[in-house]
Structure 1
């Protein structure tokens, strides 16, 4: 992408740029050299790099980078529906709307921004949104990059209407891995899960760790607030911490399904894994004036 057109700065370490299609993106940089890039199209995290410039998120080489397409990779924001079960398009409409930079967000006391680089985005429903989902909401997203290069996402959804509404939600996180057959996920042991490959039949995880030898598409229910993804070949571990997001969706399309996805390379299933902090099984219901908050903390460390 061409990042030559700069709009200016909102605060230290934050730059607003435009891609070749004229879509504004926010580039966050930590003092040590880590970075994150967020598109105002969908509020989507497109890139997260460590201080050595290594990309930590997967984006398909066949991803369509021009709206209204959603980029295949990074971290799309799925709201007010995650998945295909429901009245809306798969994964909802928030990931395909233009967000705005929020210059005056209400206080968020639960997160310390001292020494951190961050940006606040906001999405409000359009007239077209009301036609397909007739609810008045305000969705705010704070993206924080710590001095250590760790990434935090905090979403707040407020009901500003006179009638309750329900929604599901996910940070649809595409992790970059070296070889899926050498990856294991810990923190899911003994959990019940719904298997999307078996018509959502319910099972219990029996293994000490989840490993990958074929397609996986599971919804782990009421998971712990910390899940670890071990990449043996790169000797690094992703730690996924979450709050307000009870479920974890784990997805890898494997060989056959990869070939059927137009914006996904035939062999790219080998170098990616989706581990999504989400609200799936029991949607959130907000009464007028109520607010829901969900938080995701992503960190990476060296492992043996």
Structure 2
């Protein structure tokens, strides 16, 4: 049996869901690979390059800024699962002007996405509001700081359900990044300088991810049951609403990429980063390997 390290670089169902479903269903072993799913949140890029990664946002970020030719072989979703949530006195994105926002650093993929969305609401993240940088991780402390009034809004990831949090805390959902930016953020990618695109372990991992995506698309009740394991604060009805809004319409069923959306997303990220050369999406997202691997 082949072996492969597969790292996630963020917490929450956005990064972990598909790999978790594949693992629980036994798909990797059935496809002939032992996947060691690793927490790479604090790993440097050199260590990440030794295996495959789920985090397409971070890998593409490194490709744009450092020239590391990370290549995605499977795409789980083009819609980043990050949200702006306002405190009791912040009911719209425009209300962030002059306020304090708890958010990821600009040089991270989630932070870059946040800045793009802020600009699309007419807000300069460097001058129109105060961005209070927070490290990646669980968002429970963000809620505590928002509840205490230390900040006026927070940028949350998928360890939490924004609708449930807003209803319980008296906060406001301000914006979902996925409504404003389409760029592949999770799937499976490798650096071909270190791990061959044709490595049998990689092909098997792609097949396992594809089977997990197909299961989530074909069986909503199973999808909801798995989501419930991540959204422990939510009732079954709340999990179904989350699934119907953020997962069912936006997660792929086959790992394939929307090249037009990906080209637009890459251009937006490159523009925010001040990167002049923007690679073609077709060179970054080589998801034809998904179809090829299905025939192996």
* TM-score of the two chains, using structure 2 as the length reference: 0.30
Question: Higher strand fraction: Structure 1 or Structure 2?
Answer: 1
* TM-score of the two chains, using structure 1 as the length reference: 0.29
Question: Higher helix fraction: Structure 1 or Structure 2?
Answer: 2
Q: Which has the higher contact order (CA 8 A, sep 6+)?
A: 2
